[in-house]
Structure 1
Amino acid sequence: MTATLIYCYDPMCSWCWGFRPTWTKLQKALQDLVDADQLAIQPMLGGLAIDSDIAMPDEMKGKLEATWKNIQNTLGTEFNFDFWRTAAPRRSTYPACRACYVARDTGLEEEMYHAIQEAYYLKAKNPSDINTLIECAEQIGMNADGFQKSMQHVQNEHLLEEEIELARRLGLNSFPSLALLIGDRLIPIPLDYKDHINMLNAIKKALS
């Protein structure tokens, strides 16, 4: 029986950006298990914030900028703080989540995830805006018109909301989250943002 490691994330979650280097190391360390069909890695979108055209209040902007500074101080993660002064932020991550959902169909979910993170955290672009997401899609080799049509389809059919509901039912309510699914058992994997070894050992122990 192949076990499944679920990685629940939101492309606009700043702690997911902080976790990215360690998550990359963990994926590489698990590759032998993946190659041996003992383990599958399944991304799942968490959906931090619903669709909104409302400008983010100054109080929330200050709170989120402080979170970025905390992550930078704790993990050494790079951020471009110009975002908070130039990008007209909105509390809306569903469009970015849909972009990752659309990219999954062509095997480009991780590439889209990374493109959105880099646009947001390094280039001070707003992934709540469709134009930013189209740029990211083109950057990873997707067709802009096809991407926009797929985005509309995912929104019309509420496909993202179905995935978010599944994540909630599994108890994956914070991002990032890791959980190992073995048969019908779901085993939460405690996160270590600085070192992948503890997570690797926890996964191997659960598999044995």
Structure 2
Amino acid sequence: MAATLIYCYDPMCSWCWGFRPTWTKLQKSLQGLIDSNQLTIQPMLGGLAVDSDVPMPEDMKGKLEGTWQHIQSVLGTEFNFDFWRTASPRRSTYPACRACYVARDSGLEDEMYHAIQTAYYLQAKNPSDLDTLTECADNIGLSPEGFSKAMQHVKDKQLIEQEIQQSRQLGLHSFPSLALLIGDKLIPIALDYQNHSTMLMAIKKALS
């Protein structure tokens, strides 16, 4: 029976953006285990912030911009700080999570995840807005009309809320998080933002 590596994330989590290069390397280094059916990777959406139309308070904007600056100084991650001057931020990441959930059905979850991150962190666009998410969907080859219908369906059925509840039950409270599920045993994998090898060794050790 294959073990499952759960990757819990939120597309609007700045630490997830900082982790992306190392996460990409880790996935490539796990390809042999995936090809030999010893491991599957399962993304799970974490959901940082519920739906909201309320403008973000100035103190929170300052705090989050400070987080971006910290990540940039520690990891060298690129950010477009114009976002905090030109966009109208809201504390609302559920729409972006829904967009990734919708793209999953077409096997394009990671493409959507990356498109949202690119729009947000590099192009200073707001992924709390449906217009931005629809543009991301179009960019990865999804029909804008079909995407809008699917987004409403996922919202109506509260599918994101159900997945978030599952991630909480597994004890995945921070983003990004990695955990290895072997049978009914869940093994947290400590994150290393700068070196994928330490995580690879931990996964291989747990599998053996």
Q: Distance in 2 between matches of 1:56 and 1:70?
A: 20
Alignment match, 2:27: 27
1:181 partner SS: strand
Q: Confirm whether residue 190 of structure 1 aligns to residue 190 of structure 2.
A: yes
2:101 partner SS: helix
Name the TM-score, length of structure 1 as normaliser. Answer: 1.00
2:79 partner SS: coil
2:186 partner SS: strand
Q: How does 1:19-98 map to 2 (within 5 A)?
A: 19-98=19-98
Name the TM-score, length of structure 2 as normaliser. Answer: 1.00
Alignment match, 1:142: 142
Deviations 1:94-147 (A, max 9, x none): 000000000000000000000000000000000000000000000000000000
Which ranges of structure 1 fall in alignment gaps of 5 or more residues? none
**1:152 positional shift:** 0.1
**1:156 positional shift:** 0.1
Alignment match, 1:160: 160
Alignment match, 1:131: 131
Deviations 1:64-101 (A, max 9, x none): 00000000000000000000010100000000000000
| RMSD over aligned Cα atoms | 0.2
Q: Distance in 2 between matches of 1:196 and 1:120?
A: 25
- Alignment size in residue pairs: 208
Identical aligned residues as a percent? 75
2:6 partner SS: strand
Q: Distance in 2 between matches of 1:101 and 1:177?
A: 18
Which ranges of structure 2 fall in alignment gaps of 5 or more residues? none
Q: Distance in 2 between matches of 1:159 and 1:135?
A: 22
